[in-house]
Amino acid sequence: MKGFLKGSATAMITPFTETGVDLEAFGEMMEYQIANGTDALVVLGTTGEPAVMTDEEKTTLMRYAVKKAAGRVKVIFGSGSNCTARAVKASVLAESLGADGVLAVTPYYNKCTQQGLYEYYEAIAGAIKIPVICYNVPSRTGVNLLPETMARIADIPNIAGIKEASGNMTQVLETARLIRGKCDLYSGEDALNLPILCAGGTAVISVVSNLAPKEVKSMTEAVRAGKLTEAIALHDLLLPLAKACFTEVNPIPVKEGANLLGFRAGAPVAPLTRLEKAHREQLASAMRDLGLIK
């Protein structure tokens, strides 16, 4: 299927207190995104630290996000797992709670075959009616969703597209070529947002837009309008921030960036740690250059 997601989507961080998820702080972050034109919120993706959350915490956050969004913005829930049955169960739950779509990362650690990847997405998509976004991030999962496999998956009716974060532009371009006309391509790597959009990508699923939603959205709009000089200028402005957001494992830097903006993002959950001082200075400098903080 085509046309599910256009523009900018934010891979939302999850703020925690010592007792669990801080729903009030999360709601403030949602309002910041909506006020600055973000088209969709991805909740419980990698940036949201779902691996350290209980099933009850995830369900509570999903319910809250749907209610808070109130139809003003699309809400997409992360539902991937290294167990197909658990991924299917999570996707069914997301649909029942009112999700507009799900984002399913490839199975991690198990390192299944390409046929295993096809059957994984076939099972998820077959269990629900809402759109499914595939997510390829081999640096985290240890498995790479190849273009030829994605071309097969794209024939499944409610597969909306693929979030590509392989970092391999040759592969991204081949995937784009093979799925064109079937489903959509989304950038999952902020440093490559511009070239992926120019290659036919319809949206970005961005970490940086937690901090600079207006600027990220403006860049996507410039590409869509064919204003490439403007898009390049915006991408050039955003690139130092993108680099700063990945000096350490995501979401360590972006959570600190949210704290710098005045949100109660808190610290990442162990085994992740707080951002090191030198990287914090780099992040703050990039944010100042964009006028996000003083």
Which residues are known catalytic residues? 135, 163
Phi, psi (rounded to 5 degrees) for 3 = 90, 5
Alpha-carbon distance values, 25 to 29, 34, 183, 252, 266 (Å): 6, 14, 35, 17, 10
Contact 183, 161 (CB under 8 A): yes
Distance between CA 99 and CA 127 in Å, rounded?
A: 14
Q: Where are the beta strands (DSSP E) in the chain?
A: 7-11, 16-17, 20-21, 40-43, 74-78, 101-105, 132-136, 159-164, 184-187, 203-206
**Which two tokens mark 34?**
């909506």
Phi, psi (rounded to 5 degrees) for 136 = -110, 110
Contact 42, 79 (CB under 8 A): no
**Which two tokens mark 2?**
């085509």
What are the residues whose beta carbons fall under 8 Å from the beta carbon of 96, sequence distance 6 or more? none
